[in-house]
Amino acid sequence: MKQVHDYVKPRDNLQMVALLTKIDRASQIAKTIPEMLISQELCTAIEQISGNVQLPVNCIFAMKNYHREMDSDPAIGWLILYTFRSLLDRLLDIHERLRLEKVVHT
């Protein structure tokens, strides 16, 4: 992670994000997605990752793997869609910034 961070840091047009998977393993008590997302264990893990790689907390996305789930859980789907929508929004912001820089330089 440090090598990736060192590569991304000097490049203004890139933004590093982290996907934290298997959040269901972070807490022994939390059983639902909302409970997992606010569990003290998950919040602590996110803070540790943020400190270790100097990544803002809002750039760390928690996701639950569902490859072993028998039934689809709408909360898992919502979490995945939210994460990918946030990533897409960030990419669109970068694209727009690069487009504007190109217009200014020409």
State whether residue 32 is helix, strand or coil. coil
* Structure token digits, residue 28: 């022994």
What's 59's DSSP letter? G
Backbone φ, ψ for residue 51 (5° rounding): -70, -40
Per residue in 45-104, pLDDT (tens digit) is 999 999 988 889 999 999 887 766 667 778 888 888 999 999 999 999 988 888 888 877
Smallest CA-to-CA distance from 82 within 99, 57, 62, 103 is with 62
For the chain, the C-alpha Rg in angstroms (whole number) is 17
Q: What is the pLDDT of residue 106?
A: 58
Per residue in 14-42, pLDDT (tens digit) is 778 899 888 888 888 888 888 988 899 99
* Structure token digits, residue 64: 């639950």
Q: What is the pLDDT of residue 42?
A: 92
